[in-house]
């Protein structure tokens, strides 16, 4: 009886963890998923670009998917960070 209660409690905890990732943002597992999403988006800035990037401390590359706007913002902030640190 005790093992049944522990098992049910564990299932409830795991199902609660699974529900926290549903934030309305689509998840992409391949470039094909991104292409299907891009077919539904009219704005160029909202289109998804996926690239395999190296992860520090691992030999396994991760699929990183960002919108065009997000990539532009990252590049701009990196440039600004470099400019402000070089001028010091």
Query: Where along the chain do its domains lie?
Result: 24-86
User: What percent of the chain stands above pLDDT 70?
Assistant: 70
What would the two tokens of residue 66 be?
A: 């960002």
The pLDDT of 37-50, averaged and rounded, is: 91
Distances (CA, A) of 39 to 35, 48, 71: 6, 10, 19
Give the number of C-alpha atoms closer than 13 A to the C-alpha of residue 72, restricted to the C-beta side.
Answer: 8
Q: E strands along the chain, which residues?
A: 48-53, 62-67
Please give the pLDDT value at position 19.
Answer: 40
Q: Binning pLDDT at 50, 70 and 90, where does residue 75 land?
A: very high
CB 16 within 8 A of CB 31: no
**Distance (Å, whole) CA 62 – CA 72:** 20
pTM flag (> 0.85) = no
pLDDT in tens, 3-36: 677 565 556 565 554 443 455 567 888 888 899 9
């Amino acid at each position: 009886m005790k093992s049944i209660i522990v098992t049910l409690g564990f299932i409830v905890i795991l199902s609660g963890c699974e529900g926290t990732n549903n934030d309305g943002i689509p998840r992409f597992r391949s470039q094909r998923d991104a292409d299907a999403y891009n077919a539904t988006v009219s704005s160029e800035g909202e289109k998804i670009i996926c690239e395999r990037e190296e992860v520090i401390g691992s030999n396994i590359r991760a699929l990183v998917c960002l919108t065009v706007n997000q990539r532009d913002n990252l590049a701009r902030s990196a440039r600004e960070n470099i400019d402000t640190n070089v001028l010091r």
